[in-house]
Amino acid sequence: MQYDPKLRPAQVTPDFDAFEVHRAEVRDGLRAAYLHEGVGGTPLLLLHGYPETKRIWWRNVGPLADAGFEVIAPDLRGFGDSDLSPDDAYDISIYSRDVHALVHDVLGHERCAVVAGDLGGPVAVDLAQRFAGFVERLCFFNTVPPPTEGFDLATFSALAGGPTGDYQDLQGRRPDELMAMLPNEAARRQWIAAMYTSRLWASPGTFTPEQVDFMTEPFASEARIRAAWAPYQLAHGRPMSEMPMTFGPVQVPTLVLYGHDDHVVGDDFIPACEVAFANRIGPLVVPGAGHFVQWERADILNPLLVATFGDLRGTIRT
């Protein structure tokens, strides 16, 4: 049953300059940019995906900080306001080590809760598996589930062609050819804008033209958009620094969500997550949301996180 967009409550969007952008060196001289609100609360790490930056969390940062969380929303290396990698090194393990360095080494937290979708999802799983005890609680949505004995990634619809097979192939196998099609900033931003306005990704009407401009601006430069395509190239020979620790089953208590209107990550995400997460709530289907659950239904996600992560407040500060 298709969710009627007219029934979706209006979402509150802060001004585009509502939050201060902080910067800190995380590893090997690379500086990460991040939002940091509610300092002193329970650390809550928000990990974006592609075609996203920290801006996708704009509707979540304030309410979660007000609820008692120390909200940390970084740009992954090469995205948004974070530095580009000086040696063109981008992969799941590198992103994971970067954000661990930010939260643990720079901000001084031994543990945190994590919310992640799309590319951020595998990064969050690597964090949980690589750094024992670091991830206290996880919220995982609309991404690639951890492969397990009962789930083979080769059969997962989002990676096996499907409605987005063309853009995965272009970004992953033929990035130079794609870049030739996107010779200027306007063309590059339009490539990203299509993912916010197409019904393959977002539920209809969830991004205004001004909000699409806000989301696409960080991808205007050739260097930035190429960096964002790097994870797609890992399946086509791009070297990895090391194998990511993204296999399940994941033992960390996990809230699993799925945006009903997502046609990028198909509904086979649901049974896959039932196998991949040993200690889970859900999967819960979020109506009126596609791929961008945190933006499209912030009115559902924010209170749900408070309800399911709220017992951590005051228990995992440092």
pLDDT given for residue 309 in this prediction: 96
In angstroms, the Cα distances linking 316 to 37, 68, 106, 171 are 16, 12, 16, 39
The reply to whether the predicted model has a pTM over 0.85 is yes
Residue ranges of the domains in the chain?
A: 5-160+241-312
Q: How far apart are CA 294 and CA 311, in angstroms?
A: 21
Residue 11 and residue 17 in contact, taking contact as beta carbons nearer than 8 Å: no
H helix runs in 48-91, sequence order: 61-66
Per-residue pLDDT of the chain (318 residues; tens, 9 = 90+): 566 666 678 889 999 999 999 999 999 999 999 999 999 999 999 999 999 999 999 999 999 999 999 999 999 999 999 999 999 999 999 999 999 999 999 999 999 999 999 999 999 999 999 999 999 999 999 999 999 987 777 777 777 667 777 888 999 999 999 999 999 999 999 999 999 998 788 888 899 999 999 999 999 999 999 999 999 999 899 999 999 999 989 999 999 999 989 988 988 999 999 999 999 999 999 999 999 999 999 999 999 999 999 888 767 555
Tokens of 151: 């789930």
C-alpha dist (Å) from residue 78 to 89, 162, 231, 234: 9, 27, 11, 16
CATH class of this structure's domain 5-160+241-312: alpha beta
CA distance 178 to 175: 5
- Smallest CA-to-CA distance from 256 within 278, 240, 239, 225 is with 278
Beta strands in the chain (DSSP E): 21-27, 30-37, 42-47, 69-74, 112-117, 135-141, 254-259, 280-286
Measured CA distances, 204 to 61, 262, 293, 297 (Å)? 23, 11, 13, 12
DSSP for 165-192? HHHHHHHHH-HHHHHHH--SHHHHHHHH
